[in-house]
Amino acid sequence: MTPPGVVVAGASIAGMRTAECLRLGGYAGSIVVLSAEDQLPYDRPPLSKQLLVGTWGPEQVRLPVAGRIAELRLDVRYGSRAVGLDVGSRLVHLADREPVAYEHLVIATGAQPRTMPWGVGVPGVHVLRSLDDALGLAQELRARQRVAVVGAGFIGAEVASAARGHGCEVTVVEAADAPLQRALGREVGSAIGRLHAEHGTTLLTGTTVTGIRTGEDGRVAQLELSTGSVLPADVAVIGIGARPTTDWLEGSGLTVRDGVVCDTHCRAAPGVFAAGDVARWVHPVLGPVRLEHWTNAREQAAAVAANILDPRQPAPYAPTPYVWSDHYGHKLQVIGQPDDQTAAQVIEGELGRPGFVAAYLRDGRVVGAVGLDAGAKVVRLRRLVAARAPMAEVLAATGGR
Q: What is the pLDDT of residues 260-281, one digit of tens each?
A: 999 999 999 999 999 999 999 9
pLDDT of residue 401: 61
Q: Are 288 and 281 in contact (CB under 8 A)?
A: yes
pLDDT of residue 338: 87
**Summary mean pLDDT of the chain:** 94
pLDDT at 1 exceeding the cut of 60 = no
CATH of domain 115-240: 3.50.50.60
pLDDT at 58 exceeding the cut of 60 = yes
pLDDT of residue 400: 64
329-398 CATH fold: Enolase-like; domain 1 (3.30.390)
In this prediction, residues 326-339 reach a mean pLDDT of: 93
Where are the alpha helices (H) located in 123-165, listed in sequence order?
A: 131-141, 154-165
pLDDT at 342 exceeding the cut of 90 = no
CATH of domain 6-112+243-309: 3.50.50.60
Q: Give CA–CA dist 4/169, Å, rounded.
A: 54
Smallest Cα–Cα separation from 274: which of 67, 152, 110, 159? 110
Domain edges within the chain: 6-112+243-309, 115-240, 329-398
Same fold, 6-112+243-309 and 329-398: no
pLDDT at 2 exceeding the cut of 90 = no
Q: What is the pTM of this model?
A: 0.95
